[in-house]
Amino acid sequence: MSFFLEGLILGFGLAFSLGPIFIALTETSIQKGVRAGMTVGAGIWISDILFISVFYFFINSIKSTIEAPSFIFWMGISGALVLAIFGIYLMIKTPTIEYNSQKLSAKNYIAFGIKGFTVNSANPFTFIYWMSVISTYIIGRNVGATDAFILLFTILVVIIISDSTKIFLADKLKSKLTPRIANYVFNLSGVVLLGFSLYMLLQVI
């Protein structure tokens, strides 16, 4: 039970963050609908599962690599670049809001999944979060496989539920948005992402 409660606390701590992931989810849901937003979410969750798997099974062998200053530097640079591109895109693109269901191709959904995977994987905060959880709460305390699974699975479930809630709320919100307000919202989101990008750069240079 203690690992389940720890998973809830750690999951909620990440769920209420309003960073690049939040913007990617809500921006897609507002413009393209719930299905597209959930596909972005799926890309994010697959990225999380990949991080968990790598850190849990290989953290001892890759520890020297991920702690190297050069790795941290290039991780920060690449993450800042991805967020800057995404932010500039939101600032210069005129948003289109689809109020009716629209038919999207398989290629569209693949692109949405790649978008979520890329934004999450390039975000150093995601990297640091999972590395800290696994190294501190699992490896550092010699937690067994079953309890580790309970902890990590609980965190993932909380994240999936919270991300899904954000997607559905954003889809409902779009009926309140006029094109002018939507443009302001997306421009502001772009500025926020550029701010995150600059913050990352300052952390590694």
**How many Å apart are CA 133 and CA 159, to the nearest integer?**
14
Long-range pairs, 200-205, Cβ under 8 A, ≥24: 200/76, 200/79, 200/80, 200/83, 200/124, 201/76, 201/77, 201/80, 203/76, 203/124, 204/72, 204/73, 204/75, 204/76, 204/77, 204/80, 205/73
Please report the pLDDT score of residue 130 as a whole number: 85
Q: Residue 22: how many CB atoms within 10 A of its CB?
A: 18
Predicted confidence (pLDDT) at residue 80 exceeds the cutoff of 80 = no
Q: In the structure encoding, which two tokens stand for residue 43, read together? A: 């890309």
Answer yes or no: are the C-beta atoms of 44 and 116 closer than 8 Å.
yes
Mean pLDDT of 56-85: 72
Q: Helices 145-173 and 2-15 meet at what angle, rounded to 10?
A: 30
The per-residue pLDDT for 96 is 66
**Cβ-contact 127, 51 below 8 angstroms:** yes
111, exposed or middle or buried, with CB in 10 Å at 0-12, 13-18, 19+? middle
pLDDT in tens, 97-146: 666 556 788 899 999 999 999 988 887 778 778 887 887 778 777 788 88
* Cα–Cα distance measured from residue 162 to residue 11, given in angstroms and rounded to the nearest whole number: 9
Measured CA to CA, the distance from residue 64 to residue 52 in angstroms comes to 18
Of the candidates 90, 102, 121, which has an alpha carbon nearest to the alpha carbon of residue 27? Answer: 90
**Residue-range domain boundaries for the chain:** 2-77+105-177
59 pLDDT more than 80: no
pTM: 0.76
Contacts of 88 (CB under 8 A, 6+ apart): 190, 194
